Structure 1
Amino acid sequence: MKYQVDDNGYYGAYGGAFIPEMLYPNVERLRKEYRNIIEDDGFRKEFQELLKEYVGRPTPLYFAKRLSEKYNTKIYLKREDLCHTGAHKINNTIGQILLAKRLGKKRIIAETGAGQHGVATATVCALMGIDCFVYMGEVDMERQAPNVARMKMLGAEVIPASSGSKTLKDATNEAIRDWINNPEDTHYIIGSVVGPHPYPDMVTQFQKVISEEMQQQLKEKEGIEDPNYIIACVGGGSNAAGAFYQYLENEAVTLVAVEAAGKGIDSGESAATSVLGSPGVIHGSKTLLMQTEDGQITEPYSISAGLDYPGVGPLHAHLRDSNRAKFLSATDAEAMEAGLQLCKLEGIIPAIETSHALAALDQMSFQHEDIIVINLSGRGDKDLDTYIHYFNL
């Protein structure tokens, strides 16, 4: 199993747990117990029931007829945008809140960029009656104001991160500081496949429901489980990890990860880690990250609040190095046009993160009989202000 995490928390050369001593007991307990907990029959039953009755799974695998006609191929959209709260993030937060309860934790912290993970965390904390504190960069709070309001309505305290670029990286820094100060009673619900082991694998295990459903739905619709291509956007990479998971070892399926090129790969305002990154340690794991020659983290940029992260999950770093996944990038302009195209061809307004995945269609060539699945990771309600200003609507 070349693409699974090993016993030490590594995917190839990437992963591990590089953490302050204060967090060692917390992370070590998680590492020792998480697999037993999430594979327990009682846990699985409760998790599956909530995914069905609360989240609204399975999400549809929708044949995008007009989009397919435009590209002369078969394009399916995995509709994670139809999940409760509007994105795939809820799959992970449901799993982690159930885990936190079994670990006896009384307080939840989270980081968020686009706000979708913050909303999903606030949602499950309200559901379970647990105190919730969400760290969010000041810049992201401004451009994702509706999600800030949603979190507050759900009872969460939203704490601004005012250091650095005031975006996702800085919110994560603040959340880790909080966890160091409150290691006993607090569980940190990390929103992506990043952070110290076991988080990258744990989040992947909660998101793999996406590709499990995809296999079954393709069998019903096409008579086969395997598409030719799966395309997903990647910031930290949780929606991509979920969409890729069941196909990791099946090299007949081409996995396509699309990062944010911002204003251009070489513009100095980008978040295309697979091109610009080099190995280093960020937020508790060894992975690819954008950094200067002396190891200082480079500030990322994207029009999408969920993709401007200077690193990528260790699984994705391994997929890039091993050439198992094809890494592309889309500029702000390419992503925005691709998002608007989906609106006009299919009547679906995608999150700007998802629009980056859609932009890959113009960078690739397909056969007429190919089957392409694009993971539609979130809906565009949260991004309406950005769309309005960009297109002067």
Structure 2
Amino acid sequence: MSDYLKNHPDENGYFGRFGGSFIPPVLEEPFKKIAQTYESLKNDPKFIEELKYVRKNYQGRPTPVSFAKNLTEYCGGAKIYLKREDLNHSGAHKLNHCMAEVILAKHMGFKKVIAETGAGQHGVALATAAAYFGLECEIHMGEVDIKKEHPNVVRMKILGAKVIPATKGLKTLKEAVDSAFESYISQADSSIYCIGSVVGPHPFPMVVRDFQSIVGFESKEQFAEHENGALPDNIVACVGGGSNSMGIFSAFIDDKEVNLYGVEPMGRGEKIGEHSATLTYGEEGVMHGFNSIMLKDEKGEPAPVYSIGSGIDYPSVGPEHAYLKDIGRTKVGLCDDKEAVDAFYKLSQLEGIIPALESAHAVAFAMKLAKTLAKDKTILVNVSGRGDKDIDFVVENYPIPNAKF
């Protein structure tokens, strides 16, 4: 583990001034037990071996790093490489922390896991892990996302999960988190909350980052094999809550020569309610039990947000992302709906890879970035998930283009 990862967060769960734990008293003891169990297990040889076995023999890790030759030639600039988390079992990076969180639940003696989901990738991953380990699974999902991400809803149900609609407010990811937390409070003595990103009260931003860091450490070794031992010049990943981006950034934070770009969704425009660009337009605030950067309305409450990618339409962001931007270690990129859809089709038709709409935001920004760089520069993009869940929505709303670019 790098020096940075060893020292962040501090013992109270803070990354600088961001993070912490702002929760009802009823949850203080359960969260304390989760933190203590994680600290005792993370270096335990038996736990590590069990996780290694699952990752290799069930998830199919390591996922490869692929050179996107055709996309690189199309953009005409820097070489573009892809970290293929879409090839992880269940189709996204989410299983990396879900399998580990369910092992954690098993060690704590719990029989049930509860979570929220936006695009459904976390829900599918947790339902998969729960099925594998024989635990009950309860997933909360916004009504809007249930309709939009129907294939993932079906997958969750087939896997045995109970899917509960979040019917308040905008009926998307924030409301799903609200609903899941409300349910968890009444079941905290018999279940564990498995947060789906690097958000929430301590210890979850740390726990999810640590379990996702496998993406970054694999990438570092694999990229070096492609580029004669070199590091990538740039790493690009989408940011909503930020689990896939923290996963791939983790191994490179101490490598100052590597530019780290977190790409936010600009949606349909700059007005409140038209985007989810938290780090770009937000301000400091507490939501869902942690202090970070968040989008606020005129009353100082969490603002309505929007993105074509259901997994990244969140009005806050992981506290570590807020900290890394604050100290100048990471940069923020932007991608709107139109650019994301264009990248969705370009990657599909040039490389034979159908990305999740969330991942398409990262691909779109990488395409723009590549055109500004010399051909001897490199970009590594985290393709955090595959687009099976999005194909019906995309083709119904955006005609399939001619493949002759």
| Smaller-chain TM-score bracket | over 0.9
The code of the aligned residue for 1:234 comes to V
User: In structure 1, what residue type is equivalent to 2:388?
Assistant: D
SS at match of 1:6: coil
The alpha-carbon deviation at position 2 of structure 1 amounts to 5.5
Amino acid at match of 1:217: Q
2:135 counterpart residue number: 130
Q: Distance in 1 between matches of 2:183 and 2:230?
A: 44
- For 1:257, the aligned partner's letter is G
Show structure 1 runs of 4+ deviating over 6 A: none
Per the alignment, residue 103 of structure 1 pairs with 108
Equivalent position amino acid for 1:240 in 2:
S
Structure-2 separation of matches of 1:285 and 1:49: 33
Contact 2:37-2:104 at 8 Å conserved across structures:
no
CA contact (8 A) 1:274 1:317 kept: yes
1:47 corresponding residue in structure 2:
51
Does residue 377 (structure 1) correspond to residue 381 (structure 2)? The answer is no
Corresponding position: 1:274 with 2:285: no
Distance (Å, rounded) in 2 between the aligned partners of 1:366 and 1:256: 15
Q: What is the CA–CA distance in structure 1 between the aligned matches of 2:382 and 2:357, rounded to whole Å?
A: 13
> Is the Cα contact below 8 Å between 2:131 and 2:159 reproduced in 1?
yes
Unaligned runs of 5+ in 2: 401-405
Partner of 1:259: 264
> Is the contact between residue 287 and residue 311 of structure 1 (CA under 8 Å) also seen in structure 2?
yes
Which of residues 386, 392, 398 in structure 2 aligns to 1:391?
A: 398
Whichever residue aligns with residue 137 of structure 1, its letter is G
State whether structure 2 residue 279 is matched by structure 1 residue 304.
Answer: no
Instruction: Compute the displacement of 1:208 (Å).
Output: 0.4
Matches within 5 A, 1:356-375: 356-364=361-369, 365-375=372-382
Q: State the 1:276 CA deviation.
A: 1.6
1:306 is paired with a residue whose SS is helix
8 Å CA contact 1:14–1:317 kept in 2: the answer is: yes
Match runs of 1:169-208 below 5 Å: 169-208=174-213
Matched, 1:160 2:155: no
Q: TM-score, normalised by structure 1?
A: 0.98
Aligned position for 2:329? 324
CA drift of 1:294 comes to 2.9
Q: Secondary structure at the match of 1:159?
A: strand
- The one-letter amino acid of 2:382's match is N
> 1:38 is matched with which residue: 3, 18, 42?
42
Q: Is the 8 A contact 2:272 2:304 kept in 1?
A: no
Q: What corresponds to 1:314 in structure 2?
A: 319
SS in 2 for 1:140: helix
2:344·2:360 contact (CA, 8 Å) conserved in 1? yes
Match of residue 11 from structure 2 = 7
- The CA deviation at 1:270 is 0.6
Q: Which amino acid aligns with 1:370?
A: K
3-state SS of 1:219 partner: helix
CA distance in 2, matches of 1:129, 1:268: 40
Gaps of 5+ in 1: none
How big is the shift at 1:98? 0.5
Query: Equivalent residue of 1:69, what SS?
Result: helix
1:69 corresponds to which of 69, 73, 76 = 73
* Pair 1:112 & 2:120 matched: no
Show CA shifts across 1:333-356 (max 9, x none): 111111111111111110000010
- TM superposition shift of 1:80: 0.1
SS at match of 1:114: coil
Deviations 1:231-284 (A, max 9, x none): 000000000000000111211100000011110223641100011211111111
Shift of 1:214: 0.7
Secondary structure in structure 2 of the residue aligned to 1:372: strand
Query: CA separation in 1, counterparts of 2:272 and 2:301?
Result: 18
1:142 alignment counterpart: 147
Contact 1:216 1:225 in 2 (8 A): no
The answer for the alignment partner of 1:28 in structure 2 is 32
CA 1:153–1:268: 2 relative to 1, 3 Å: closer
**Farther-moved stretch of structure 1 (284-293 vs 167-176):** 284-293
Residues 24-81 of structure 1, C-alpha deviation per residue, up to 9 Å, x if partnerless?
A: 0111112222122122110010001101111100001001101111232211100000
2:403 matched to which residue of 1?
Answer: none
Specify the SS of the correspondent of 2:380.
Answer: strand
User: What SS does the aligned partner of 1:93 have?
Assistant: helix
- The equivalent of 1:348 in structure 2 is 353
In structure 2, what is the Cα distance between the partners aligned to 1:43 and 1:225?
A: 32
Q: Count the aligned residue pairs.
A: 393
Question: Equivalents in 2 of 1:230, 1:190: separation in Å?
Answer: 25
Q: Is the 8 A contact 2:272 2:305 kept in 1?
A: no
SS in 2 for 1:104: coil
- Contact 2:272–2:297, Cα closer than 8 Å, also in 1: no
The alpha-carbon deviation at position 142 of structure 1 amounts to: 0.3
CA–CA separation in structure 1 for the residues paired with 2:90 and 2:71: 26
- C-alpha contact (below 8 Å) 1:38/1:99 kept by paired residues: no
When the two chains are superposed, the root-mean-square deviation of aligned CA atoms in Å is 1.2
